[in-house]
Structure 1
Amino acid sequence: MNETNVDPAELAKFSSLAHRWWDLEGEFAPLHHINPLRLGWIDGLCPLKGARVVDVGCGGGILADSMARKGADVLGIDLADKSLKVAQLHALEAQTLQIAYRHVAAEALAAEMPGQFDVVTCMEMLEHVPDPESIVRACATLVKPGGWVFFSTINRNPKSFLMAIVGAEYVLNLVPCGTHEYARLIRPSELSRFCRDAGLDPAGSRGLEYNPLTRRYRLSPDTSVNYMLATRRPG
């Protein structure tokens, strides 16, 4: 499999917004706000300094850039050319060392570089592809034995529909309308099953909660809406 596991409409959607990736008040502002939380959680479980990392579905490089600044050697991959160009330009402007970007599918990179990475991250991507389980398998293939794989996505239940779609997209305008499709959201039990079937052991989870009054995010044990899952490949 190469570039078959992609939705052209999703690719076009993110490509049209590519120039806004590093606008702290723009459409991707929520990603900038949650990035320190997810970066800290990842680094706390698996220190990034000196680690070889691949960020699958890196977009404009928000997480990839911050991991490189923690001392990791980072490769960001995506299938949206415009987003990758923005990521590359930002790395040049910010003089971020130890980072590279490639236009390549996760499955193709897994076939090319199996077991080559200490850490694999795949954030806010699984809910945008036709076959999320294929991405999970690719991530499991990319990581070294004993390495870590981190995912983040959105739960599928009535609460998440109200908060992540109706609230975030149509009421609070945190993200553009149409960003998420309810049927593609993934329950933690489903993601955990994908991981176990791919040979990854779930090792912890955290929810990301948003307070509309303080306009701040925080980590929490509540995974009913936005959540992250940490897994390890036995080694």
Structure 2
Amino acid sequence: MNTVNADPAELAKFSELAHRWWDTESEFRPLHQINPLRLNWIDGLAPLAGKRVLDIGCGGGILSDSMARKGAEVTGIDLAAKALRVAQLHALEASTTGVTYREISAEAMAEEQPASFDVVTCMEMLEHVPDPASVVKACAQLVKPDGWVFFSTINRNAKAFLMAIVGAEYVLQMIPRGTHEYAKLIKPSELASYCRSAGLELGLTRGLEHNPLTQRYWLSDDTSVNYMISTRKL
């Protein structure tokens, strides 16, 4: 029996909000605000122009669309059908070329198209699946030898609980309550272990910080809450 590595409640949560993905004042405002930082960090390490890119857990396509606008040939995949329809509609409305979307899991895509992509991104997704190590393994299978895989997720500690869950969801109401479950958050050491087991060589790690008063986001060396990690296929 082939069970899909996805939580139905998580898919329902993001499908329910699908129509709001491209509203920059909606629950997805933080994603729009951090997207230039993520995009430029990825593009700085693995210049996207002319690359074949896979965006796993693409949702409404915020990162996928921006990578395509950098000149990449992007495939965005997700299991939330409504979010994918929103992503496709936005690509049509914005006349974004070089981006396509598919409803397929990372694991199924890895079986279908192994070693096919120059760059694989998996951002803000690992903390929403039952088996994050399985997704990391699929990323490693999907990328070409010497290709790049980028992850972003949230650390699991008291500070992250206070800032990413209590602060962001309940106090500031920046994102919907219940977006993140503390037990599903991932320590950098755990993600590093998943990467090494999958044959990915660890590269740079960057923290993503936020000042709720000024609404400013920036990259730093502080990985205690939100963080990104770059890896290469050995």
TM bracket (short chain): over 0.9
Q: Is the 8 A contact 1:209 1:219 kept in 2?
A: yes
Q: CA deviation at 1:212?
A: 1.2
| Alpha-carbon distance between aligned partners in 1 of 2:182 and 2:16, rounded to the nearest angstrom | 22
Alignment of 1:184-223 (within 5 A): 184-223=184-223
- Provide, for residues 43-102 of structure 1, a one-character-per-residue CA deviation record: whole Å limited to 9, x for no partner: 000000000000000000000000000000000000010000000000000000011000
Task: Within 5 Å, give how 1:45-84 maps onto structure 2.
Answer: 45-84=45-84
Aligned length, in residue pairs:
234
Inter-partner Cα distance in structure 1 for 2:14 and 2:32: 16
1:143 alignment counterpart: 143
2: distance between equivalents of 1:171 and 1:213?
13
Secondary structure at the counterpart of residue 177 of structure 2: coil
Match of 1:126 in 2: 126
> Quick one: distance in 2 between partners of 1:153 and 1:2?
26
Unaligned runs of 5+ residues in structure 1 are none
Root mean square deviation of aligned Cα: 0.8
Assess if the C-alpha contact under 8 Å between 1:127 and 1:180 holds in 2: yes
CA distance in 2, matches of 1:19, 1:119: 28
Give the secondary structure class of the aligned counterpart of 2:32.
helix
Question: Contact 1:2/1:107 (CA < 8 Å) preserved in 2?
Answer: no
1:165 corresponds in structure 2 to 165
For residues 135-166 of structure 1, the C-alpha deviation after alignment (integer angstroms, 9 at most, x for no partner) is 00000000000000000000000000000000
1:39 Cα deviation (Å)?
A: 0.2
Residue identity (%): 73
User: Structure 1 residues 3, 44: closer, same or farther in 2, change over 3 A?
Assistant: farther
What is the deviation of 1:4?
1.6
| C-alpha contact 1:128 1:184 (8 A) present in aligned 2 | yes
Partner deviation per Cα, 1:11-67 (whole Å, 9 max, x = no partner): 100000000000000011000000000000000000000000000000000000000
Calculate the TM-score normalised by the size of structure 1: 0.98
Kindly indicate whether the alpha-carbon contact (under 8 Å) linking 1:79 and 1:104 is maintained by their aligned counterparts in 2.
yes
Runs of 4 or more, structure 1, over 3 Å off, are none
Report the equivalent of 1:179.
179
Aligned partner letter, 2:143: V
